């Protein structure tokens, strides 16, 4: 039961930490600022974008700013790198939760098996003269399986919820990164044509 207790405390700690993380992400959501950045990008007003987006903790803004800062080198790769970093932050500890969902029931079954083995040892030592001791031992052993399953079931719901939030965030990143790329290409296309005509 001690390993199961450790698993339950670890899962609970991570669930609370990730819940606070996603609450923070929701509080920092600023759709108006994202729209303003895209609008200013159409005119190539990079200084205004820097002023407006300074200190923003919105993950979409951070990705767009990364693209703007590296626009003359590799805008797409800069945004991809920034997006990968954001996704890594969002997936933090998810592997641990996944492990707890798998390990907790296995630990429970292990506890039950060892408990049943001990019960059979009692039978071997004293025969079937004390059936209450045997059945009581088996009932006690089954508690570990129930505990392991309970930990896994309770953990799987927030785990799936956090994964759905990550997938949703990835779609949002792709949407705005593509929008910014289109806006930037539309802005520089006339400049490229002018350079071509000058040659």
Using alpha carbons, list the distances in angstroms from residue 22 to 17, 85, 157, 162. 9, 16, 15, 8
Domain boundaries, the chain: 2-198
Give the pLDDT mean for 167-176: 92
Residue in the block written with tokens 């996704």? 87
Predicted local confidence at residue 181, as pLDDT: 85
- The first and second tokens of residue 131, run together, are 């059936």
Predicted local confidence at residue 30, as pLDDT: 80
pLDDT exceeds cutoff 70 at 175: yes
- The first and second tokens of residue 186, run together, are 């539309």
106 vs 111: CA distance, rounded Å: 9
Nearest to 64 by CA among 47, 44, 49, 45: 49
pLDDT exceeds cutoff 80 at 67: yes
Predicted local confidence at residue 125, as pLDDT: 66
The per-residue pLDDT for range 103-120, each reduced to its tens digit, is 999 998 888 888 888 777
- % of the chain at pLDDT higher than 90: 37
pLDDT exceeds cutoff 80 at 101: yes
């Amino acid at each position: 039961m001690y390993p199961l207790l450790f698993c339950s405390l670890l899962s609970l700690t991570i669930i609370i930490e990730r819940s606070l993380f996603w609450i923070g992400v929701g509080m920092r959501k600023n759709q108006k600022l994202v729209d303003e950045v895209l609008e200013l990008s159409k005119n190539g007003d990079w200084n205004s974008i820097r002023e407006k987006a300074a200190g923003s903790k919105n993950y979409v803004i951070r990705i767009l700013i990364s693209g703007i800062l590296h626009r003359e080198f590799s805008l797409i790769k800069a945004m991809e790198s920034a997006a990968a970093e954001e996704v890594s932050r969002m997936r933090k500890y998810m592997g641990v939760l996944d492990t707890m969902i798998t390990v907790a029931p296995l630990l429970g079954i292990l506890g039950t098996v060892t408990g049943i083995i001990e019960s059979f040892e009692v039978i071997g030592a004293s025969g079937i003269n004390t059936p209450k001791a045997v059945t009581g031992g088996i009932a006690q052993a089954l508690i570990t399986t129930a505990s392991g399953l309970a930990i896994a079931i309770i953990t799987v719901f927030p785990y799936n919820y956090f994964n759905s939030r990550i997938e949703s965030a990835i779609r949002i990143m792709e949407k705005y990164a593509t929008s910014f790329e289109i806006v930037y290409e539309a802005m520089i296309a006339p400049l490229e044509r002018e350079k071509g005509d000058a040659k």
